[in-house]
Every structure is written in structure tokens, then in C-alpha cells.
Amino acid sequence: MEGKNEQRAGLLYGIGAYGMWGLVPLFWPLLEPSGAIEILAHRMVWSLGVVAVALLFVRRWAWIGELVRDRRKLGLISVAAATISVNWGLYIWAVNNGHVVEASLGYFINPLVTIALGVLLLGERLRPAQWAAVAISVAAVLVLAIGYGKPPWVSLVLAFSFATYGLVKKKVNMGGLESLAAETAVLFVPALGFLLWLAATGESTFTAGGTGHGFLLAATGIVTALPLICFGAAAIRVPLSTLGLLQYLAPVFQFGLGVLYFHEAMPPERWAGFALVWLALSLLTWDALRTARRNRVLAAELLATAAAATPGTAATAAPDAAQQKIT
């Protein structure tokens, strides 16, 4: 019963995390007239404050000394910080400049880009269904390039930057909260320096926009950290296959907001491109579920074989032991 409650709680945490990531396009326009780079700098600065409070609450500090002594891991954290800053900054710019649908496409194709990076950089081997999904996604990008009149650069940069971020995070192998703290610590000094420069030149909107605007900019720390904390809580409670399915909630919400709330144009060729992406993701999901089911069946069979073999082994060992005793 306790296990079921834990899984139910994990599912709710996961829905909460991806739901917040999916609805965040409603938040960034509230920060105008701040530009994307200023918003990004505030996000970096305030996120570190929120994460520091969270770490103080859970009393997890030992990893800091280990990280400082490990130059390789520190270098990887710096790369992760650089790639996520590109991702965050471009996403904020895209939302505030009428590219919400194109941004959602980036997160739809992100799993496919992650698979492609795994093949190119890690030498991973793909199953036939995965190859088919990658081929369909390439066709989708070509269709969308025709629809947009140019390659969907916003989508591609978002997808590749986040896939690279995920690849680096895999090599770093740190908890979500600790990793975010390390990344924002790397970004804190340049971000704070940029904000101070804006204030010195009279270009800052932090105080010029009024108290409410200042509070909204400070809230970027909560907007960044809260979904990640929920994701971390979900990751330890539900299977990875469930998290894999939940990840599509965010781009679905973003796409819906782009079309229904922001009223972005969706000509037929864009619908065709998105349909191909969704077909590729459906194929990928079907293959992942089938493989997971097959692995569970195989594991159950191996356990059953081992259990069946145990009495026979004991029965064979008993006469041998008795014979030795007689001798």
C-alpha cells in the first residue's frame, strides 16, 4: 500500500513539474519590458538564492568540496552551465517574440536529438524502430523548413542545446538540486556583473518597472527551481518509462498555448511537419514501452528459472554432503 502511495505521489510530482514547464510561457511576457538577456541574468542570480535555501533546508553541502577538488567534473559543470544558459535565453526570447509554437517543437524533437547524439558521440546502437523515428524526424524538419521558409533554427538550437545539456549532466552524475546549484554558481558572477552594469548605465528595469516588476523578476528563481525540485521528487518514485511519457506534457502545453492563447499561425505545411514529429515520437514511445515490457518478462523468466533451480541444487548437494559424512 505504501509503495502505491509513493508511486501516486511521484506521478503527481511529475505532472506538476512538466505542467509548470509547459505553462511557463504565460510567465515570461509578464516580465516585459525587460529583455531576454536581462531576464536570463535575473533567473541565474535568483535561482542560486532559491537553491541555496533548499540545500540549507535538506543540509546537503558535502558535495561542494568534492566538486571543487574534481577539475574534470568542474569543467563539465561549466559546459552544462553554458549550454543551459543558451537554452534558457533563447527560450525566453522565443516566447516574448511570438515563437512559442516553434519553441515547443524544440522540446518535441529533443528526445530524437538525444538519440542521435547517443549514436554519434557515444557509439550507441539503435533498434530498427528508433532508426525509423529518427528518419521521420529528419523528414519533419525538412517539411517545417519549407513551411517556415527557412530551417526552424529556434527549435533546432533549443533541442540540441538541451540534448547537449542532458549528455553533460549524465557524465557529471550529480543530483538535480546540487547540479543546479553548481551551474548557477558558475553563472552567478557574470550574471550579477551584467545586472550591475545595466543599473550603472540606467538600462536596468529591475527598479524602473516598479515594485511589482521587481518581485516578478525575483520570482524567476522560484519559477526555475520549483519544477526541478518536483522533478527530483518524481524521479525517485516512478519508473523511468513513466517519466519518459510525462516529458511530452510540457511541449504539448506549450504548443496548445502557442496556437490557442498566443494565436500563432499554423499553415498546413506546419501541421504536416508537426504531424510527422508526433508520428516519430509515437513510434519511439511504442518501441520503448515494448522493450521495457519485454525486459520485464525476461527478468521474470530468469527469476523463475533461478527459483526452480534452487531446490534441485539443494537436493543434489544433500546426498553429496551425506556421502562425505559417511566417508
The helix/strand/coil state of 57 is: helix
Task: Say if 324 falls within a structural domain.
Answer: no
| pLDDT tens string 181-205 | 888 899 999 999 999 999 999 899 9
What was the pLDDT predicted at 93? 96
Task: Say if 318 falls within a structural domain.
Answer: no
What was the pLDDT predicted at 240? 63
What was the pLDDT predicted at 101? 92
Residue 102: CB atoms within 10 Å: 23
Mean pLDDT of 1-11: 74
Task: Say if 113 falls within a structural domain.
Answer: yes
Task: Say if 312 falls within a structural domain.
Answer: no
Low-confidence winner among 99-113, 251-265, 301-315 (lowest mean pLDDT):
301-315
The helix/strand/coil state of 286 is: helix
Task: Say if 206 falls within a structural domain.
Answer: yes
Task: Say if 213 falls within a structural domain.
Answer: yes
Phi, psi for residue 278 in degrees, rounded to 5: -65, -35
Contact assessment for residue 269 and residue 147, using Cβ atoms and an 8 Å cutoff: yes
Kindly indicate the confidence band of residue 134, based on its pLDDT and cuts at 50, 70 and 90: confident
Which uninterrupted H or E stretch holds 168? Answer: helix 153-172
The answer, yes or no, to whether residue 149 has pLDDT greater than 90, is: no
| pLDDT tens string 229-264 | 888 778 777 776 677 678 888 999 999 999 999 999
**What's the mean per-residue pLDDT of the chain?**
84
| pLDDT tens string 67-98 | 888 888 889 899 989 999 999 999 999 999 99
Read off the C-alpha cell for 118: 547517443
Mean pLDDT of 151-162: 91
| pLDDT tens string 271-288 | 998 998 899 888 888 887
Please name the residues in contact with 231: beta carbons below 8 A apart, sequence gap of 6 or more: 13, 14, 17, 18, 176
Kindly indicate the confidence band of residue 289, based on its pLDDT and cuts at 50, 70 and 90: confident
The answer, yes or no, to whether residue 327 has pLDDT greater than 70, is: no
* pTM for the whole structure: 0.83
Range 241-274 burial, b when 16+ CB lie within 10 A, else e: eebeebbbbbbebbbebbeeebebeeeeebebbb
Structurally, how many domains does the chain consist of?
A: 1
The helix/strand/coil state of 24 is: helix
Kindly indicate the confidence band of residue 310, based on its pLDDT and cuts at 50, 70 and 90: low
Task: Say if 63 falls within a structural domain.
Answer: yes
Parent domain of 19: 1-301
The answer, yes or no, to whether residue 321 has pLDDT greater than 50, is: no
The answer, yes or no, to whether residue 323 has pLDDT greater than 50, is: no
Task: Say if 3 falls within a structural domain.
Answer: yes
